Structure 1
Amino acid sequence: MDRGTRTPATARARGIARSLAVAFGGLPHSVGTVDSPPPHVAGDITRLWLRNSRSQESVVDTASTEIVTMTTHGERLRDVWLAIESIGRGTVKPHRLVLWLDRPLPRVPWRLRRLQHRGLEVRFTPPGLGVHTKYWPLLSSESLDRPLVMSDDDIVYPETWLEELRGAYQSSPRCVIAHRAHVIGMSSESEFTPYASWRPCESDAPNYAHFATSVSGQLLPPALQKAIRDDGQGFLRSAPTADDVWLHYEAVKHGFPTRQVLDRQQHWWFIPGSQQTGLNTVNVAGGENDRQIAATHSPETRRRIWAEVAAIS
C-alpha cells in the first residue's frame, strides 16, 4: 500500500497516536515505525497510563518467588514506568521489582515515584557497567536464593509474562528460561556464523545451542547466579555492550542449557518512541555481537555448543 494512502484503520491508528502523544506529554510516536503499536496495543498502553495515575495496588507480592530487575538510561527514563507498570499488573507479581540506575537523580520522575509507593525499588549503582547494570549490582551484593528475571525497559509486557516464565522454570529448574531465543549457528567447532544469520528457535527443549535474549525476559536459576557472581566482571573486557552474550557463555560454561517457554519466539510491542535510542543497531547490524561472541567463548564452551549444533542440524 502506498505510504500516503489513508484507510479507516490507518486513520484510527493515527488518531490514537495523536491522543497518546498528548496523554504522554509529547511522547515521540509515529505510525508505521517499529515502535508504533497497533490500536489494541495503544489501548493497552492507555489502560496502563490510567492504572499508573490512579491505582494503589502493589506491583509486588512478598509471597511470590522471583526477583525482576531492569535498568534504563537517558531519555528512556521518562517512559520506563510503562514497562514496569505492565509487569506489575501481571497475573503473577514478582517478589521484588528493581530498577537500577547508574547515577543518582535530583528527583525521581513522578510516575516512578507512584510505583515506588506501590513496591518498586529504585536503586543506584556507580556508572561503568552499561547493560550489565540490570543484573550485576544485585548478583554482587545480595544473597542469591531466588530466580532472577531480567527484563528490558522498552517493552509492554503481557499479563501472563512472568507466570509463563515461572511455569517453564518449575518444570526445567536447571535451565535458563526465555520467551525468545535464537539457534546458534557454527561453521566448525571453533567458528560461529554471523549472529544476524541465526534462525529463530522453534523448540521448547533445553539446548546449549539456544541463545536467550533479555528483550522478552529471561530467568536465571540461583545456582547460575552464584556462578556468574564468582566469575567476576570479565564481561567488561569481552562483552561490554552484550549482556546476553556474557550470560549465555556463563550458562554454557556452568552446565545450564537454555529453554524457550514455547516452541516459537515471543516478542512484544515496544514502548512508543523507545527505539530512537538503543544498542540493537550497533550490536546486530554493526557486528558488535559477533566480535563479542568471538571474544567471550572459550574452546570448552564452543565444543559444548558445537555438539548440540551438530545434533540438531
Structure 2
Amino acid sequence: MWIDYAARQALSSVGAFVRAPRLKFAANASSLSFPQEGDTVVSLTTHGDRMSASVASIASLLMGTELLPVFLWLDRVDFESEWPEGLRGLVDRGLQVRCSDGAFGPHTKYFGTFAQFAGTDTRVITVDDDMMYPRWFAQKLLNASDADPGLIVAYRAHEITFRGDQLDLYRRWKAVYTTAPSHRHFATGVSGVAYPPSMVEYVARQGTGFIGHAPKADDVWLNACALRSNHMVRQVFPHPREFSIVPGSQRTALVRGNLGGGGNDVQIAATYTHEDVARLLRAD
C-alpha cells in the first residue's frame, strides 16, 4: 500500500509544482471569497511550518466550482504567532480561523467544528492541509452525499480485511473499487470526507475519548465512531481518488510512519473492541 501510494504521488508531482505557486498567488489576488454560512462547511487544521503549505491547499478550495464556508483550527501557539502572508490573504477572502480549546493533534481537523455544529443539521467536510484539491472537489462530493444523505462519503477508502477472526494489518487492507456502502469501508481523510449531521453529533458527544485510544490517528477514531453509530461509508467513485500533495510538505514521511512503521495498527488495536470486530465480521 505504501509503495503504491508513493509511486502515484511521484507521477503527479510535476503538475503539483506548477499548480502550487499559482494557488498561493490566488490567495492574495483572487476576487472570490468563501461564504460565511451554509448547511455544509469545510474543516481542517494546520500547525507550525505546515501553515505555509496550507495556503495552497485552502486556496484550491477557493478556486472550486462550489464554494463553502471553511474553518481552519489552530493550536493556541500557532493562533497567536505570525501567520504567513498567504494565510492572511485567505482570511480577507472569508477563511474563518479559530483557536482550538486544546492540543488535539490531527483530531483538531474536525474536533472544534463538530462541537460547534452538533445539533444544527450541518454536514461537515474534512480536508488535509497539505493536499491540493481539484476544482470539482466539493461539487462531486456533495452530489454523492446528497444521493445518500445518511452515509459517510469519501473520495478514498480501504476495505478492512481479516486474519481469521482478527483484523489484518492495516497495510494489507484493500483499496475499495465500488460505490456501494459498507461498514467494512474505512474512509481515509487525506482525499476529503463528508460527514452527515447525525455523525457530527455522535462524534461530538464522545468528547476527547480519542486521547486514550488513537491520539495520532483521527481516521481510526472517526471510522470506529462510524461503526458504533451505524454510519456506513461509500466512495464517490467506483475507484479511489488521490490528489496532489503540496510540494515541500511532510506527507510522505507521515504516511511512511503510520503505515510502514505500524503506527496505525497500534492505535487500531487500542480503539476497536471485540464487539467492534465481531460486528465487522458480520457486515457485508
Give the structure-2-normalised TM-score. 0.90
- Secondary structure, aligned partner of 2:42: strand
Partner of 1:146: 122
Mapped pair 1:243 → 2:215: no
- Secondary structure, aligned partner of 1:291: helix
Question: Match of 1:119, as an amino acid?
Answer: G
Partner of 1:194: 169
Compute the displacement of 1:247 (Å). Answer: 0.4
User: Which range moved further: 62-71 or 163-172?
Assistant: 62-71
Mapped pair 1:106 → 2:99: no
Mapped pair 1:171 → 2:144: no
**Which structure is higher in RCO with an 8 Å CA cutoff and minimum separation 6?**
2
Measured against aligned partners, the alpha-carbon deviations of 1:26-62 in whole angstroms (never above 9, x if no partner) come to: xxxxxx995785444433323313322311210x235
- Secondary structure, aligned partner of 1:42: helix
- Secondary structure, aligned partner of 2:44: strand
Partner of 1:82: 56
For 1:181 and 1:241, the matched residues in 2 are separated by 19
Between the two proteins, what is the percent identity of the paired residues? 34
Measured against aligned partners, the alpha-carbon deviations of 1:42-88 in whole angstroms (never above 9, x if no partner) come to: 33323313322311210x23575321011111211122110000011
Compute the displacement of 1:245 (Å). Answer: 0.5
Mapped pair 1:252 → 2:227: yes
For 2:100 and 2:38, the matched residues in 1 are separated by 26
Partner of 1:230: 205
Compute the displacement of 1:182 (Å). Answer: 0.6
Give the structure-1-normalised TM-score. 0.82
Contact 1:177/1:218, CA 8 A, preserved across alignment: yes
Contact 1:176/1:221, CA 8 A, preserved across alignment: yes
Contact 2:127/2:193, CA 8 A, preserved across alignment: yes
2:189 to 199, 209, 214: 214
1:298 to 263, 273, 283: 273
Contact 1:178/1:216, CA 8 A, preserved across alignment: yes
For 2:251 and 2:232, the matched residues in 1 are separated by 33
Which is richer in strand?
2
Q: 1:275 to 1:37 in 2, by over 3 A?
A: farther
Partner of 1:66: 40
What's the C-alpha RMSD, in Å, of the aligned pairs?
2.0
Partner of 2:157: 181
- Secondary structure, aligned partner of 2:83: coil
User: Which range moved further: 134-143 or 146-155?
Assistant: 134-143
Contact 2:24/2:86, CA 8 A, preserved across alignment: no
Aligned length, in residue pairs:
275
Partner of 2:18: 43
- Secondary structure, aligned partner of 2:73: strand
Contact 2:157/2:235, CA 8 A, preserved across alignment: yes
- Secondary structure, aligned partner of 1:204: coil
Measured against aligned partners, the alpha-carbon deviations of 1:200-228 in whole angstroms (never above 9, x if no partner) come to: 11111000010000000011111111111
Question: Match of 1:254, as an amino acid?
Answer: S
Contact 1:212/1:258, CA 8 A, preserved across alignment: yes
Which has more radius of gyration? 1
Contact 1:151/1:214, CA 8 A, preserved across alignment: yes
Contact 2:16/2:245, CA 8 A, preserved across alignment: no
Q: 1:36 to 1:82 in 2, by over 3 A?
A: farther
For 1:126 and 1:251, the matched residues in 2 are separated by 24
Mapped pair 1:97 → 2:97: no
For 2:233 and 2:274, the matched residues in 1 are separated by 19
For 2:255 and 2:237, the matched residues in 1 are separated by 24
For 2:257 and 2:104, the matched residues in 1 are separated by 17
Contact 2:130/2:251, CA 8 A, preserved across alignment: no
User: Which range moved further: 139-148 or 209-218?
Assistant: 139-148
Structure 1: gaps (5+ residues): 1-31
Measured against aligned partners, the alpha-carbon deviations of 1:82-135 in whole angstroms (never above 9, x if no partner) come to: 0000011111111x2011111232322211111001100111114421110011
